[in-house]
């Protein structure tokens, strides 16, 4: 990739329900994305509960697929609800599976985090838990801008359309920042040209 070609961003949503505010937010982000970003979306709905006995026999196909998607992405975008002050078990389980092995695909990936809730706290506690998990996976999360959307049912329509220009501008700002962060990390990982 060079600085003029788009980066591949893998969207990972922590909610499975059809009317998910976070699923809708991910679709909003895709629509708001600048042309420096090419999106794909992970399907983590069929990843089984983690069991090391199963893992000892290899990765289930759904986990293989998720690991491949993470490995081939230039950056990740997590869009997650908050469940009981943390990230949903579904998302943690997918991360647990994909994190196994020395070739775990998350290492050194740039990532951004967004979340929407129907209430006032806007997934803040879940996002900071997710950041803690990402430390061990050696992901490089973007710090700013944070996207935490309270009472999202007032901003995102039933078909996932964004009804608020200010929020949409924030989505774009974070994606622009993710693009710059990704280029920065790719540039700094290149071998030193001086020697
Ligand atoms: C098991 C469970 C736990 C929840 N815990 C929290 C919570 O800790 N904080 C919060 O703000 N909302 C909590 N909620 C409400 C969710 O934020 C709300 O249902 C949200 O719309 C779920 O995201 P989704 O619309 O993307 O599916 C919880 C919902 C569920 C189902």
Query: How far from 119 is each of 18, 21, 29, 116, 190, CA to CA, in Å?
Result: 19, 11, 20, 9, 44
- Tell me which of 83, 126, 155 to substitute to probe ligand 1's pocket, judged by most ligand atoms within 8 Å of the beta carbon: 83
pLDDT of res. 190: 79
Q: The tokens of 7 are what?
A: 């980066």
- Tell how far the Cα of 36 is from the centroid of ligand 1, in angstroms: 32
Give a yes or no: residue 163 inside a domain. yes
pLDDT of res. 31: 93
Low-confidence residues of the chain: pLDDT under 70: 1-4, 192-195
Give a yes or no: residue 1 inside a domain. no
By residue count, the chain amounts to 195
3-state secondary structure at position 30: helix
Give a yes or no: residue 27 inside a domain. yes
* Tally of domains in the chain: 1
Q: Could you report the per-residue pLDDT of 117-141, keeping only the tens digit for each?
A: 999 999 999 999 999 999 999 999 9
pLDDT of res. 195: 46
Instruction: Measure the CA–CA gap between 140 and 125, rounded to whole angstroms.
Output: 19
Residue 24 CA, closest ligand 1 atom number: 26
pLDDT of res. 1: 52
Residue 122 CA, closest ligand 1 atom number: 11
User: Which domain CATH number covers 117?
Assistant: 3.40.50.360
pLDDT of res. 194: 53
Q: Which residues line ligand 1 (CB under 6 A)?
A: 15, 17, 20-23, 81-85, 117-119, 121
Give a yes or no: residue 193 inside a domain. no
- Tell how far the Cα of 168 is from the centroid of ligand 1, in angstroms: 22
Give a yes or no: residue 81 inside a domain. yes
Note if the pTM is more than 0.85: yes
pLDDT of res. 191: 72
Give a yes or no: residue 137 inside a domain. yes
Give a yes or no: residue 2 inside a domain. no
Q: Which domain holds residue 171?
A: 7-188
Q: State the CB neighbour count (10 A cutoff) for residue 124.
A: 16
pLDDT of res. 2: 53
Give a yes or no: residue 41 inside a domain. yes
């Amino acid at each position: 990739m060079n600085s003029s070609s788009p980066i591949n961003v893998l969207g990972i949503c922590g909610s499975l329900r059809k009317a998910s505010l976070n699923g809708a937010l991910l679709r909003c982000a895709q629509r708001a994305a600048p042309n420096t970003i090419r999106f794909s979306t992970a399907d983590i709905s069929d990843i089984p509960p983690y069991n090391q006995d199963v893992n000892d026999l290899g990765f289930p196909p759904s986990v293989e697929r998720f690991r491949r998607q993470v490995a081939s992405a230039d950056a990740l975008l997590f869009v997650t609800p908050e469940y009981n002050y943390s990230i949903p078990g579904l998302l943690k389980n997918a991360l647990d599976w994909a994190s196994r092995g020395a070739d775990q695909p998350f290492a050194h990936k740039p990532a951004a985090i967004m979340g929407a809730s129907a209430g006032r706290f806007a997934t803040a506690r879940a996002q900071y838990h997710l950041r803690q998990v990402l430390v061990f996976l050696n992901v490089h999360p973007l710090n700013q801008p944070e996207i935490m959307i309270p009472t999202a049912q007032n901003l995102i329509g039933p078909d996932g359309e964004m009804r608020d220009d200010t929020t949409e501008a924030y989505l774009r700002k974070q994606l622009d920042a993710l693009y710059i962060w990704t280029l920065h990390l790719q540039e700094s990982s290149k071998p030193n040209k001086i020697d």
